[in-house]
Copies of this chain bind each other. A is one copy, B any other.
């Protein structure tokens, strides 16, 4: 099951722009799939799409209502539930990035079943996966890896896919988190899979393909993160990447969420990923670095990128400022 588009982006009564981060990512990377945004009175987010009612969107052909917003307080207000209910009546599927499952909302599962609509909980894998097999698959794979969590792995992956497609290469972004799933229309939240199936789910996500086809697989976590390294390693083994791109955010005082653990050296992160990745792809190599320099001034950012490039001997870009062309060049 994949998520049908075009989408109507539901923002509800989001308290600020950050609460609509997921919806914003979808609107940025798949503008052609996003017909409009549905906002309640008092909504403090705006992702730059035309405001639409459910009826407008249905008339314009919207296939899925995307709940790409974090609500206040963690409970669902009645106005949200009645909106989802009405979207089903108007012919739309619903896809949600909430922690709460759509099927746990009163009346929603029954109505969807009765009307033949799909409910898609991006945070909760509903498929069953096999355990990983470690068999080498056809086609090529690129995995973004990180020094830490939240350093731009999804963004970098999407910038690489975009650059590859612009060059006429066969490429597919493979999503492993909720925002990525709305952008790809399918995928697996690997950090929500039962631990035994992390690599198996990743093998499912990136099956055999044409010899010249690239899967650009969205990385998660970091081998150096004390909470999430297990997810990262399973994803690395299941991806069996031919190449990795290291993603980094240069202003962290320590690993995010674990104040006792310092940020690792970039070369150490590359080495650890190469050493572990060899288990399922002996030819794995690192082709470049993508640094999120949004917290730095432009000249400071340029200096940092040059320094890292000189030190590691690999192309080093900020995919947001410069795009991913130099990373894709490095594949040759």
Contacts and interface: CB of A to CB of B under 8 A. Distances in A.
A133 B226 contact: yes
A229 B273 CA distance: 13
Interface string A137-168: 00000000000000000000000000000000
Contacts of A136: 260
A134 B200 CA distance: 27
B199 A229 contact: yes
Interface stretch (A64-72, A188-196, A206-214): A188-196
B230 A134 contact: no
A33 interface: no
A115 interface: no
A227 B194 contact: no
B196 A231 contact: yes
B133 A260 contact: yes
Copies in the complex: 2
Interface in A211-241: 223-224, 226-235, 237-238
Interface residues of A, number: 40
Given A133-B258, A192-B194, A237 B229 contact: yes
Interface stretch (A38-46, A274-282, A318-326): A274-282
A199 B230 contact: yes
Nearest to A133: B258
A261 interface: yes
Nearest to A280: B226
Nearest to A237: B226
A131 interface: yes
A132 interface: yes
Contact of A260 (B135, B191, B231, B276): B135
A200 to B, nearest CB: 6
Given A194-B192, A195-B190, A195-B234, A261 B228 contact: no
A261 B233 contact: no
A226 B195 contact: no
A88 interface: no
Contact of A132 (B195, B198, B226, B279): B226
Contacts of A200: 227
A226 B56 CA distance: 49
B224 A234 contact: no
Nearest to A196: B191
25 contacts: A132-B258, A133-B226, A133-B227, A133-B258, A134-B226, A134-B227, A134-B258, A135-B260, A190-B195, A191-B194, A192-B195, A193-B194, A194-B194, A195-B198, A196-B231, A199-B230, A223-B276, A224-B279, A229-B234, A230-B230, A230-B231, A230-B232, A233-B233, A261-B280, A272-B276
